[in-house]
């Protein structure tokens, strides 16, 4: 994560997406739980309920899904569930629409 300056990594089993692990997962589930990150496996702390989108989805639809599920990143999978990429709120803001990203962030941080 440090080497790639990212807060999330996809976890795969073969070619299938198995989950994601975030820097927050490592801190809140592993370190705060007094577990040694050197002695434990990613699978012990990853999130296996992953919200995905398709490369054919519109950016607006993906942003709506982010807001609905209150997540800042979506894994992009093909029809077989094979990981082909990741879409982040940052990418939406930088490459598509700051306005849409701002609206989506408002939904993500909203107390429910």
Are the C-beta atoms of 108 and 70 separated by less than 8 Å? yes
Dihedrals phi, psi of 96, to nearest 5 degrees:
-125, -70
Are the C-beta atoms of 17 and 49 separated by less than 8 Å? no
The whole-angstrom separation of Cα 97 and Cα 22 is 25
In a structure prediction context, what are the per-residue pLDDT tens digits for the chain, which is 112 residues long?
A: 999 999 999 999 888 899 999 999 999 988 888 888 888 899 999 998 899 999 999 999 999 999 999 999 999 999 888 899 999 999 999 999 999 999 999 999 998 8
DSSP letter string over 48-62?
----EE-TTS-HHHH
* Second CATH level (architecture) for the domain 51-112: Roll (3.10)
- Enumerate the domain spans of the chain: 1-49, 51-112
């Amino acid at each position: 994560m440090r080497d790639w300056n990212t807060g999330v990594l996809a976890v795969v089993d073969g070619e299938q997406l198995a989950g994601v692990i975030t820097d927050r997962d490592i801190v809140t589930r592993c370190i705060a739980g007094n577990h040694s990150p050197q002695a434990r496996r990613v699978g012990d702390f990853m999130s296996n309920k992953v919200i995905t989108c398709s490369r054919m989805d519109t950016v607006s639809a993906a942003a709506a899904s982010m807001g609905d599920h209150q997540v800042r990143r979506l894994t992009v999978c093909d029809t077989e569930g094979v990981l082909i990429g990741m879409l982040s709120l940052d990418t939406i803001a930088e490459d598509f629409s700051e306005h849409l990203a701002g609206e989506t962030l408002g939904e993500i941080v909203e107390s429910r």
